[in-house]
Structure 1
Amino acid sequence: MVRKPAVAGQFYPGEEQSLRETVAALVPEGEQRHALGVVSPHAGYVYSGAIAGAVFSCVHVPETVVILGPNHQGAGHQAAVYPGRAWETPLGRSEIDAELSRRLVQSCDLLQEDEAAHRFEHSLEVQLPFLQYLNPSLRIVSICLSHARPDELVGLGEQMAEVLREDGREILLVASSDMTHYESAQDAQRKDMAAIDQILALDPVGLYRVVAEQGITMCGVVPTVVMLSACNRLGAKKATLVRYGNSGDVTGDRREVVGYAGLVVE
């Protein structure tokens, strides 16, 4: 089973050459450092691609990447690991790291193999062309997450970290998330910085709490909490905000924007 592109030609170019040129333009040259995790936005590339590109340009993309995304569709299991053989984009096919996927499902209480959650979900797919461009031979594990209690999410991250630690390879965790949706640029930035401060503090429970208490419409708070928890267990020392912006930077309309943030956890 190969997961075919669901949003090629919509969120990003559907033809190989056009997509390759687009991603190349969005990924600036720079020094790449080894990281444990990143937060990257998942809107159409015209809106958030520059922020995603800035994030991925400054980290080393290893042979295996675990992509964690929110479940916008509401389909399938609440913590769904894609069970197939590969994911495909116009840039080519990326194999699933089947052995790592298997060990994660066996060792993590919440995880379950499920294809339905991934069938039309864009939040994971839009990350892949950036990763393929920077490492064409990478393999992936794809995990689509719905809401759960903060203790369950922290526990999932810690269980994942133990599997990754035992594996011993360098593995990057990618949390896919946009920030505040459809508020003024000023309000969005104020709310988003409250959430970003918790990420910079490496505080997954604090992030969950602030998002809930302040009504921040950060669609990827769940994968970000899991990523932070895993990185903490793996020894994270710091997080860095690479770039923040919103859709109004592109459209010029700042009355109702979507916020985007790119962060690196080391």
Structure 2
Amino acid sequence: MTRVPIAQGTFYPDKVRSLSEELDELIPEKKDKIDAFGAVIPHAGYRYSGSVAGATYARILPKDIYVLLGPNHTGYGADIAFSDETWKTPMGESSVSASFIKDVKERTSMIRTDRSAHASEHSIEVQLPFIKRTAPSAEIVPISIKHCSTEDMWRLAEVLTGVISGSEKRIMIVASSDMTHYESRRSAREKDMLAIQKILSVDPEGLIDIVESMDISMCGYIPSALMLMCARISGAKKAELVKYSDSGYTTGDTQQVVGYAGIAVYR
């Protein structure tokens, strides 16, 4: 089965040539790269957050498998859901790592295969053209997250980290997330820097606490915290803020912005 794209033509161009040209502009040439264990990368329309996403993918070494943790904006499907479909993009198809999913399912029943959780969701799809450009033959493991308790997140992190450490493949985790939504630039930046500091400290529970206590509208904070839990377990204790921006630099509106951060986590 093939998962049909739902964000092409809106979040990013639907024509190969136009998309390729845009990716050329968004992904800078960078020789100094990080061997990242994980990353937080935004998922808005490319005209808004593409420069942050592109800078982050340019900063990290390509991998064989990308475990893509995306927030479930639609509310459809299981709380935590794999996709087992091949994902179609204008840049070509992205194959799912069936072996990775099999290994996870042998260790836990927390993640169900549920295509409905992914069918109308953009947060993972928007990452794929960047991955196709920077790591053309890479496989993906799409995981949509609607709800997960902190206790269950740690359990799941143990499983994911175990599968990653037992593989001979080069694997990284991408948490797909935008930052504060629809506040002034000043307010958004102040709130976002609180969350970003927790990510830079590789502090997953601190991230959850600050987002919830300060009412920070970071849509992918649960995927981001799960990535950080995996990083902590694996010994990845360093992080770099590659780029921060907001939608106001595109729209000109600084009173209602969405913030975007690209952060790489590494050993």
TM-score normalised by length of structure 2: 0.97
Residue in 1 aligned with 2:195?
195
Query: Equivalent residue of 1:142, what SS?
Result: strand
After TM superposition, give the deviation of residue 109 of structure 1 in Å. Answer: 4.2
Residue in 2 aligned with 1:145?
145
What is the correspondence of 1:15-94 to structure 2 with a 5 Å cutoff? 15-30=15-30, 31-84=32-85, 86-94=86-94
State whether residues 48 and 246 of structure 2, in contact with CA within 8 Å, keep that contact through their aligned partners in structure 1: yes
Q: Which runs of 4+ in 1 moved over 6 A?
A: none
2:240 is equivalent to residue 240 of structure 1: yes
Output one character per residue of 1:82-130: Cα deviation in whole Å (capped at 9) or x when no partner: 022x111000011111111111223234211111000011000000000
Aligned length: 265
Counterparts of 2:17 and 2:154 in 1: how far apart (Å)?
41
Comparing 106-115 with 230-239, which one deviates more in the overlay? 106-115
Counterparts of 1:207 and 1:108 in 2: how far apart (Å)?
25
Output one character per residue of 1:141-196: Cα deviation in whole Å (capped at 9) or x when no partner: 10000122222222212221011111232101110000000111100001111001
Query: Equivalent residue of 1:140, what SS?
Result: strand
Residue in 1 aligned with 2:111?
111
Once superposed, what is the RMSD of the aligned Cα atoms? 0.9
Amino acid at match of 1:231: A
Counterparts of 1:154 and 1:258 in 2: how far apart (Å)?
29
Q: Which structure 1 segments of 5+ residues have no match?
A: none
Amino acid at match of 2:65: T
State whether residues 107 and 163 of structure 1, in contact with CA within 8 Å, keep that contact through their aligned partners in structure 2: no
Q: Percent identity?
A: 43
Amino acid at match of 2:189: Q
Amino acid at match of 1:141: V
Residue in 1 aligned with 2:129?
129
Query: Equivalent residue of 1:127, what SS?
Result: helix
State whether residues 69 and 176 of structure 2, in contact with CA within 8 Å, keep that contact through their aligned partners in structure 1: yes
Residue in 1 aligned with 2:5?
5
State whether residues 80 and 148 of structure 2, in contact with CA within 8 Å, keep that contact through their aligned partners in structure 1: no
